[in-house]
Each structure stands twice: as C-alpha cells, then as structure tokens.
C-alpha cells in the first residue's frame, strides 16, 4: 500500500510542478492504404511558468504535437497531460472548456487570428463574449496596454502592420486568462527586427504573468529569446538547448540582432528516453561517417560513453585482392 501511495504522491507532485507531460506519444495518420507516423514515442515535460520553444524541420512532428496540446488532435497512443488533466479522457464538453479556459493559441496566419471588419479592441473582446465574461471592454483595454497598442484600439485589420496584427493576436489569445499559451510560427510572416520584438513580448508576458508559453518554429535563432529549446526529429525529441547565461545580460542583442550560434548561449543535450534510446545529431554522424549505417561501436571509457564507427571487418568481410 505504501508503494501505491508513493506513486500517487509522485504523480500529484508532477502535476503541480509541470504544465505539460507527454509520455510515449504516437500519432499515425491513415489515408486509404497509406499510414504516416507523425510522432514515434515522443516524451516531453514542460514546467509551469516556463518559456520554451520546439524546433524542427518540416515533417518532424512539431505541428502535430502543438495541435495535440491545443486540443485540436488526439494521439494514437501514449499519455498527454496538461494542467494535471488527462486529455485522452476528455469528453467533447471537457475539450470545449479546455480550449476556452486553459489554452490560448496564436497562429502564424493572421486571417485565423483576426476578423477584418472588427476593430482591434472588438477582436480582443470576442473570446470573452463567447465565454460570457464580464467587464470585457476593460479587460480588452488592459491587454492592449500589455502588448503596447493602446493607441490602435479602433484600428481595423487593414490599418495594422504585420507586427501589430500579431500583437493583437497575442492579446486575443490571452483574453480569457489561459494558463498555457501556444504559438505556431508566430514570427513567420514578419521581418527579422519585428520578429525579435514579438519574441521579446512573449518573454515580457511570461515574466509578468507567469503564463506557460510554448512556441513552435523552424528557426533555431529563437534560442536567444527563450530559456529552453527542444529539437524534434523524426517524431521524437532528439536534443535540448538549455540557457547558460542570465537573459538580462543579453537584452542588447535583440536590438543589435546579432546572429550568434546556439552554443554561445545554450548548452546542448541529447534526449534519452526511459529505455535508454537517444538520437545523435545528424552533423555528428556525418563527421564520423556514420550516416546511413545501422550499427556503431559503443564503449565505456573514463566515465564516458564513446561511439565510434565499426571496424571494417565488423561491418563487412574484406575480399582478398585477385
């Protein structure tokens, strides 16, 4: 009985400390006789109040994961918990409440964020009208102040720049005070300088309100603006970049837009699952000549695990010269 109580206690502690817990997530899309595996046993934990990013190439599975976190799709297998709630057990009513109250979504395409014939303040009020929230105008004006657009409250979509539209979209996503904010390529349609200011706004909101923010992007330079970056490859988490220095020491980089490499500000770690499997970065494999091979030599050397190419006689038998 004590072991069972310990397990329950550990689960409760994990729910209190973590906003997102994904375990062995699998997603398979079926079209006629074709099956496409988008996620292949993905594991991910995001702490409450964390500002982090998920990066990956097209087809890596990052957008599939974001849709699951947003309640827009369901896993084929595995476990997905957000804010202590198991999304796989949600009824339709539970999912509606979740998408309305727990999670906010910022899309890359502003046409999905904003209604063009409404003013900025009216767009922000709309989610609150749907949820029957009181004092909608006061809340909308407060959010406009937070995103720095109080002077644009009566502007329509066509009167706003791309960066201003995205700021309004962020305010809309925050209208119902969600605990989790998801952003899908939020800087994909703006220039580099505007992108830096939008990412800085995410950090400001994270620090001031404590909201958990997950940004999905293909741009590795986002590491300059977040505390942790998780890289996804082939449907699994392959590596993580954890911040090294205090962000306050690097604020000047945002204005100068210096394009320093990830390893100047972050340490990179390969992610190992519970069975001991991990993905080696592709450039490492290329350097060792291991790309395309199905085996490597694994040795324990001075407290380190060392991977080396197989010896020629281990890979294939040599044929004597004629």
Q: Which domains does the chain have, with CATH numbers?
A: 281-322 (2.10.260)
Residue 203 near residue 51 (C-beta atoms within 8 A): yes
The three-class DSSP label of residue 319 is: coil
Taking only the tens of pLDDT, the chain with its 322 residues reads 566 565 556 555 655 789 999 999 999 988 877 888 888 889 999 999 999 999 988 888 898 999 999 999 989 999 999 999 999 999 999 999 999 889 999 988 776 788 999 999 999 998 888 777 778 899 999 999 999 999 999 999 889 998 999 999 999 999 989 999 999 999 887 888 888 999 999 999 999 999 999 999 887 778 788 989 998 888 888 777 777 655 445 444 444 444 444 445 667 777 776 667 777 767 777 777 777 666 777 788 887 887 777 776 555 544 444 4
The per-residue pLDDT for 13 is 60
The per-residue pLDDT for 5 is 60
Give the span between the Cα atoms of 201 and 149, in whole angstroms. 12
**Cα end-to-end distance, the chain, whole Å:** 72
User: Sign of the CA dihedral 143, 145, 125, 158?
Assistant: negative
Beta strands 236-243 and 228-233 are: antiparallel
Say if pTM beats, i.e. exceeds, 0.85. no
User: CA of 162: how far to CAs of 39, 106, 124, 134, in Å?
Assistant: 32, 14, 17, 30
The per-residue pLDDT for 145 is 94
Helix (H) or strand (E) holding 125: helix 120-130
The per-residue pLDDT for 247 is 47
DSSP-derived letter for residue 265 is: T
């Amino acid at each position: 009985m004590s072991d069972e109580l310990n397990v329950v206690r550990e689960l409760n502690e994990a729910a209190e400390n973590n906003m997102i817990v994904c375990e062995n997530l699998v997603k398979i899309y079926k079209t006629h006789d074709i099956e496409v595996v988008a996620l292949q046993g993905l594991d991910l934990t995001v702490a409450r109040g964390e500002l982090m990013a998920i990066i990956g190439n097209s087809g890596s599975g990052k957008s599939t994961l974001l849709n699951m976190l947003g309640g827009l799709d369901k896993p084929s297998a595995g476990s997905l918990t957000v804010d202590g709630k198991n999304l796989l057990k949600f009824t339709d009513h539970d999912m509606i409440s979740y998408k309305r109250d727990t999670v906010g979504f910022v899309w890359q395409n502003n046409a999905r964020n904003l209604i063009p014939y409404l003013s900025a303040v009216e767009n922000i009020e709309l989610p609150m009208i749907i949820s029957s929230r009181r004092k909608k105008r006061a809340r909308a004006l407060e959010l406009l102040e937070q995103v720095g657009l109080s002077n644009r409250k009566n502007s329509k979509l066509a009167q706003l720049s791309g960066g201003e539209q995205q700021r309004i979209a962020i305010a809309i996503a925050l209208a119902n005070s969600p605990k989790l904010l998801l952003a899908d390529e939020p800087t994909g349609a703006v220039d580099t300088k505007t992108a830096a200011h939008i990412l800085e706004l995410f950090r400001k909101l994270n620090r001031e309100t404590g909201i958990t923010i997950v940004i999905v992007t293909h741009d590795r330079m986002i590491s300059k603006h977040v505390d942790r970056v998780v890289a996804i490859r082939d449907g699994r988490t392959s590596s993580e970049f954890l911040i090294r220095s205090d962000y306050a020491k690097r604020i000047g980089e945002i204005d100068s837009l210096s394009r320093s490499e990830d390893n100047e500000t972050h340490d990179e770690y390969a992610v190992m699952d519970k069975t001991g499997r991990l993905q080696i970065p592709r450039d490492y494999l290329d350097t060792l000549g291991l790309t395309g091979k199905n085996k490597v030599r694994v040795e324990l050397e001075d407290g380190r695990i060392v991977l080396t190419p197989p010896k020629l006689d281990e890979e294939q038998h040599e044929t004597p010269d004629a």
